[in-house]
Structure 1
Amino acid sequence: MVSQPSRRTVRGAFVATAAVVAAALPTTPATAQPSAADALKKYNELSEQASKLNQDHLKAQGDLAAKQAELDKAKADLANAKKAEESLRGQVDVLTESTFQGARFNQISALLVSDSQQDFLNRMSAINILATDNAEALKGLTDAVNAADAATKTANEATEASKKLLDEIQQKKADLDKQLAEAKAQYNSLSQSVRNQLAQNGDMSNISVPPGTAGKALEFALAQRGKPYVYGSNGPDSWDCSSLIQAAYRYAGVSIGRTSYAQAAAGRQVSPSEIKAGDIIVYYSSQSHVAMAVDGIRAVHASTEGVPVRIADITSIGPISVVRRIEG
């Protein structure tokens, strides 16, 4: 079982950390402290906005990959439909040519040339078979042509959708780059002492994890403490918030979505009062940030650039949107 510190202990540690940050902020002249605090607040706000844009960009990339798969299938369906159409058209041409060459008989000619009643019946049977073959071939050709038309329409629609998604991705990437530049500039405006405080690894102590899938995922996430945050990174040397959670559960043998939006729908929902080790905690109304519970009080997460993967108090990370449980 995970060892859970008392709320008093965690609260004390949190207050102590806050005191260190406060101490790192300049105190003279008297007006300097609010300015530094405002700069840090602004940096956090810009980082949150960049995190959302990062998740939007990742989602658009995923949508494009799915749409490309649809396009590939549509193209394959179109190729198969055209092949079937060509084959059936050849069959219809052969039957039509035979008809024009007199290979087909009508009932009167069959009667006139028959030597006996049985011969007549045999000839009529052959005529019916030829007629049936021709009707089936014509129907098959019609169906193949319709299938080819439908496949062409689907392929064209998928192509257009892919183009729109590609344009959307490029726009989201431009928005993200602009937001990152603003956040970086704000980060650089912070004092060196505050930046040093942000860069601390936090609690690096050995933490026991529960057995099972959730424990294994948590084991992986905890092992990433101290690694840097990089927007859009998929590891293993750096992470963003959702790639860390995805990789942790992949390590535990469970496949979940890449974005915080997808992870907000993974598993089943539990209330914040029920949080336990391994639960996925999604933050903000936009569901743009995600962390993994260490226990009912703490969570490990990849926060933002300039801050390494580390443990934080669950409620200090931000307003909780939803808690999802993968196991149990």
Structure 2
Amino acid sequence: MRKLGLRSCCVVVLAASVFPLLVPAASAGADDAPTTVAGLVGRYVDLSRQAERVNEQLLKAQEQATALRQQAVAADAAFRAADDSWKQAVRQAEQLVADRRERAALLRTMVPANSVAAVLNSGSQDEFASASILAGLVHDADDAVQAATAQTLAQTSQAREAAERQQAAAEKAAAAATATENQVSAQRADLDKRVAQVRAALNALPPDAVSLMQGGTVAPSVTVPPGAVGTALRFALAQLGKPYEWGGTGPFAYDCSGLVQAAYGAAGVRLPRVAADQALVGQRVARADVRAGDLLYFYQPVQHVALALDHNQAIQAATFGEPVKISPIDSIGPIAVIRRLVTN
């Protein structure tokens, strides 16, 4: 499977860089209910757009929170390993002290501290010299081992302290990311409720009043090119009529970026999950040069994506309450950028 990389620098995700909220909580608050069909449709479109933006925000927050939680788990494992090494060094140092004390007691029985007594008690001067040399060698060896042990103890202690700091920082970043994830999730749930309320009001209207919102679910006569582009388009066309679902990646429901990711995934091309990240992949294309298979990204910052069927039409998972459908490109919204992933 081909993987297309983002054209951006890799950065370490910290708690402060968790994707910021794009829609203030107040914007989702209750306000005056529309009094006309046009006003109701306008409210639905506005709330759906906000919900889609927050949904993209939530997906990004979930990605970041998951990555930071994984980093916290790794940092915890690293601290445990450093702690084990430090504890082992402590045990070795304690054992060295005990060994030295035991050998010192043994040497005192072999070599009296008073050199005159040592001469008198030795069978010969050579015996005394040998015992003295042996004592000196043992002490020298002990000193070398003690120095090495002290160095190991200092190093493992420093490594443990560094690992402990990293563990604390990773846990703090993960907690902050989870808090942001929960905050955005709550905001999306509030928007979901409001969108559903407006959608219920729309569904209570005569069918012809909202039929245009359901249009474009029948596959038109489209010439599908060969290769990966054709595979992606055939996959997308096969999803026509399936429901929209925030965070949906198929096979039964999709959101906008989930549909595009799945379509090109069927062609062996890997894309990021979120529309804003997808918009950084591939070759930039002008509106005048759009052709089948190009990806069209809408609004600024990017919050929606559609897959071009030709120069004028695109297939999209539009918004809550609407099925996957085909729409005129220029009716979807303001285009932020157009990308071409493959040239075949």
Pair in the same fold by TM > 0.5: yes
* 1:161 corresponding residue in structure 2: 173
Q: State percent identity of aligned pairs.
A: 31
Go from structure 1 to structure 2 and tell me whether the alpha carbon gap of 1:48 and 1:143 turns closer, same or farther (over 3 Å shift): same
Go from structure 1 to structure 2 and tell me whether the alpha carbon gap of 1:129 and 1:320 turns closer, same or farther (over 3 Å shift): farther
Go from structure 1 to structure 2 and tell me whether the alpha carbon gap of 1:88 and 1:211 turns closer, same or farther (over 3 Å shift): farther
Tell whether 2:257 aligns with 1:245. Answer: no
* 2:293 corresponding residue in structure 1: 278
Residue 162 (structure 2) aligned to one of 150, 156, 167: 150
SS state of the match for residue 286, structure 1? coil
Residue 194 (structure 1) aligned to one of 188, 206, 209: 209
TM normalised by structure 1 equals: 0.77
* 1:66 corresponding residue in structure 2: 67
SS state of the match for residue 235, structure 2? helix
RMSD over equivalenced CA pairs, Å: 3.1
Go from structure 1 to structure 2 and tell me whether the alpha carbon gap of 1:83 and 1:35 turns closer, same or farther (over 3 Å shift): same
- Letter of the structure 2 residue corresponding to residue 271 of structure 1: A
SS state of the match for residue 210, structure 1? coil
- Letter of the structure 2 residue corresponding to residue 169 of structure 1: E
* 2:315 corresponding residue in structure 1: 300
* 1:80 corresponding residue in structure 2: 81
1:139 deviates by: 2.1
Go from structure 1 to structure 2 and tell me whether the alpha carbon gap of 1:240 and 1:95 turns closer, same or farther (over 3 Å shift): same
* 1:16 corresponding residue in structure 2: none
1:62 deviates by: 1.0
- What count of residue pairs does the alignment treat as equivalent? 289
Larger radius of gyration between Structure 1 and Structure 2? 2
Q: Which is further off, 85-94 or 199-208? A: 199-208
Q: Distance between the aligned counterparts of 2:172 and 2:262, measured in 1?
A: 33
Go from structure 1 to structure 2 and tell me whether the alpha carbon gap of 1:129 and 1:193 turns closer, same or farther (over 3 Å shift): farther
Q: Which is further off, 224-233 or 190-199? A: 190-199
1:120 deviates by: 6.9
**Aligned pairs (5 A) from 1:163-242:** 163-190=175-202, 191=205, 192-205=207-220, 207-242=222-257
SS state of the match for residue 277, structure 1? coil
Give the unaligned 5+ runs of structure 1.
1-33
* 2:333 corresponding residue in structure 1: 318
Q: Which is further off, 179-188 or 47-56? A: 179-188
* 1:261 corresponding residue in structure 2: 276
Contact 1:91–1:137, Cα closer than 8 Å, also in 2: yes
Q: Which is further off, 187-196 or 64-73? A: 187-196
SS state of the match for residue 101, structure 1? helix
Go from structure 1 to structure 2 and tell me whether the alpha carbon gap of 1:35 and 1:148 turns closer, same or farther (over 3 Å shift): same
Tell whether 2:85 aligns with 1:91. Answer: no
- Letter of the structure 1 residue corresponding to residue 95 of structure 2: V
TM normalised by structure 2 equals: 0.74
**Aligned pairs (5 A) from 1:13-32:** none
Residue deviations 1:92-111, cap 9 Å, x none? 22223333334699xxx9x9
